[in-house]
A and B are shown apart, each in its own frame.
Chain A
Amino acid sequence: MNTRLSRRELLLHAASAAGGISLGAAWLAACSAPSRARRDEAVNARSARVLDAEEWRFFSAVQAQLLPSGPGSPGAREINATGYLDAALSDAAVDLGDVERLRAGVATLQERARTTHGKAFADVDAAQQEALLKAWQRDEAGEEWLGLLLVFTLEALLGDPVYGGNPDGVGWHWLEHHPGMPRPRQPHARGRA
């Protein structure tokens, strides 16, 4: 770890160390008084539901591409991937930088969909959606954004159902995973310091 980690390394680091993901951005805000207040304000602003209706449609469409529903295997819809994402983004333990990065990606992809097909991403057909995502993945920014959204989607697939994804353990059942015991009785949300 000679230098700052790339996005991809950060994700792998988080995966292998059983650690969490975190991405800069919030640090300056966290460490000086005036901007700390700004951070608190931002945290409170997203304490309710984070995604608006259009964003919800957008993320549902992208997550259905990332994890399609198939015969005998759950997809984004069956694991409540977008509902999970909405809840996760309102958790203060999730870095605000992640929220900002996800939002920035929405703008980019919606713009590409409108330029190419004249409609919102959620309204173009599935094959065109897939092509848009594949094209964007060739950019480093697209690769990182897809990785970030995929992590939240995999959390919805394989996290404990108390967090709102993986209803009835449908993801565990598909992949024949036996969860550890005891399971959490409630989701853990970090206090908004």
Chain B
Amino acid sequence: MSADFDVCIIGSGAGGGPVAFALAQAGRSVVVLEKGPWLREGDFSKDEIGDCRRNRFVTDRRVEPHAVEIPEDGAWRTYPTPETGWDFWNGNMVGGASNLMSGFFHRLKPDDFRLKSAFGPVEGAEVEDWPITYDELEPYYDLVERVVGVSGRVVPHPHADRRSSPDLPFPPLVEHPLSSWIDRLGAEMGLHPFPVPRAILSAPAHGRGSCSYSRYCGSYGCATGAKGSSRAALIQRAVATGRCEVRAQCMARRIHTDAQGRITHVEYHEEHGKVGAVSARVYVVACQSIETARLLLLSTGPKHPRGLANSSGQVGRNLLFSTAAWGRASLPYRKFKPDEVEALQNQAPFINRAFQDWYSFTDETGTRMKGGTLELLFAHPNPISQAITAAYSGDDGVLWGWPLKKKLEEHFKGARHLLFEVFADWMPHPDCHVTLDPDVKDRFGLPVARVRVGKHPRNKVVGTFLAERGIEILRKLGGEELVMSSRGAPATNLLAGACRFGTDPEKSALDRDCRAHDVENLFVTDGSFMPTGGSVPFTFTIYANAFRVAEKIRAQLGG
């Protein structure tokens, strides 16, 4: 029986886009299933109410919830996400959450591929080395910088990456005057702030426009195509070859396998519940970690009673987030000289400075441990969100009336607001995993993913160490009203793991090529493969690895 397509990709985000692009370019026929709608540049605007407050771009969790398990009084209690502050949907449209990213494109460092060997085991954490090295992934980081388009400039510093090309292919975006203040402060403090590579075009290329510097960026779709989303940079170009078909608003419900354990076809829901099916020679799952695990667990078959790729029982295990820690400060104009105030009031959106001076560090007991990245940026300009923050900044409950109006004037007209964000490893934890919920169903009647969020105490230790460094930097820049948060809690927009790759089929779901150990025509190319997540945002690494795996798929297809 001949297949409909060479490759069927489930999910069009950062894991799916590179495979669609590379294989369509190579002359293969590709179909992409995406549960969300297909929006184009012209559909995006800076609409805080629709895009951010009403969550236009994510699945409505009231009809497609997740279940979250959190510890309460020594036991795990389960709540449907709409009853909580949790939401694990991150961007359900063609291109996925990459449409909404900020595009901080830091590479992982060599030690991120060998965390266990470099830093030793951590008690209570399931740390494992990756089966590949930095040098094996490096050519694909380089490829992504060119194909997706990364802007910035490489400067020598003690934590700089080992690179095969000397500099980034696109010049840096326009920087805010504050960036040079940070550079000066760094020099005084003996630190090394460096320009942040951004997946944002600083000049038109590949049929996409360059950045229009319109202030709102992260959390928004890009109206010029400058942001290197999977949609703008990869899917649209794959479709332009004439060999890639995107089926939007089609949610895969089950992957079917035959008596030999090979995949035969994928069954999916169209928007109004009609069920469709598609077949291919090779299948790629890339639905972001939680939904990838859910689909594999739902897809039991005669040879796969525990779900696809799950002979090892590893599917769903060791879900990773990034450890969330952050701080903020205001820089009130009254503290600065007139020319400095003028500089602060500059409306350029990007600071583009990060510190990796503590990518590893030694604590007070002399233990060397993995640290992370500290990113400096302006507080998100969303004015409603800023106003709510200001209203809740007092100690005596929410402000209203004249005190609120005074506070709003100070907040918006009297200061700039700076933020730092920490990116640090989430320790793989036996109690951080995805299973199928026995009770809660989505609008299609399918069991939803149940996410247990167990956290290792190391997350908070590292997050706090970095956040304290961040607060010191903000203070030295003239910051007041310093606020710091480090709870070892997950950043739910930064998801990876739950379908580890490795050399041992007993201890991993995928092989080193991200092919399922136990299903020959199945690959997983989103962030699920990562045994450890590293201390930078995941998107760049997901792109690079998906390009690497695309070559393996091409080889498997032969010809």
Residue ranges of A at the interface with B (Cβ–Cβ < 8 Å):
1-5, 8-24, 26-27, 30-31, 65-68, 70, 73, 91, 93-95, 130, 133, 137, 143, 146-147, 150-151, 154-155, 157-160, 162-163, 171-172, 175-185, 187-188, 190, 193
Q: How many residue pairs bridge A and B at CB < 8 Å?
A: 198
A24-B82, A182-B44 known; 5 other A-B pairs, CB under 8 Å? Answer: A14-B385, A20-B55, A31-B80, A163-B49, A175-B409
Q: What is the CA–CA distance of A171 and B384 in the complex, to the nearest angstrom? A: 11
Q: Is the CB of A143 within 8 A of B398?
A: yes
Q: Is the CB of A20 within 8 A of B53?
A: yes
Q: A26-B62, A27-B82, A150-B400 are in contact. Are A180 and B487 (CB under 8 A)?
A: no
Q: Is the CB of A20 within 8 A of B487?
A: no
- Interface size bracket, B side: 35 or more
Q: A150-B391, A150-B398, A180-B220 are in contact. Are A27 and B47 (CB under 8 A)?
A: no
Residue ranges of B at the interface with A (Cβ–Cβ < 8 Å):
44-56, 60-63, 65, 70-72, 79-80, 82-87, 212, 214-216, 218-220, 223, 347, 380-385, 387-389, 391-392, 397-398, 400-402, 404-405, 408-409, 412-413, 440-441, 443, 453, 487, 489, 493
Q: A30-B62, A93-B55 are in contact. Are A66 and B401 (CB under 8 A)?
A: yes
Q: Is the CB of B54 within 8 A of A188?
A: yes
Contacts of B79 in A (CB 8 A): 4
The residue on B at minimum CB distance from A138 is B397
Interface centre among A2, A17, A26 (most CB of B within 10 A): A17
Q: What is the CA–CA distance of A140 and B398 in the complex, to the nearest angstrom? A: 11
The residue on B at minimum CB distance from A133 is B400
Interface centre among A4, A15, A150, A154 (most CB of B within 10 A): A15
Q: A24-B83, A158-B383, A184-B47 are in contact. Are A12 and B413 (CB under 8 A)?
A: no
In the assembled complex, the CB of A101 is this many whole angstroms from the nearest CB of chain B, namely 14
Contacts of B440 in A (CB 8 A): 31
Q: Is the CB of B387 within 8 A of A160?
A: no
Q: What is the CA–CA distance of A55 and B385 in the complex, to the nearest angstrom? A: 27
In the assembled complex, the CB of B299 is this many whole angstroms from the nearest CB of chain A, namely 22
The residue on A at minimum CB distance from B419 is A16
12 contacts between A and B (CB under 8 A): A1-B487, A4-B84, A17-B493, A27-B83, A68-B402, A91-B54, A158-B48, A159-B53, A163-B49, A175-B409, A180-B214, A182-B223
5 tightest A-B contacts by CB? A180-B46, A188-B50, A180-B216, A175-B412, A24-B83
Interface centre among B60, B70, B381, B400 (most CB of A within 10 A): B400
In the assembled complex, the CB of A72 is this many whole angstroms from the nearest CB of chain B, namely 10
Contacts of A11 in B (CB 8 A): 388, 392
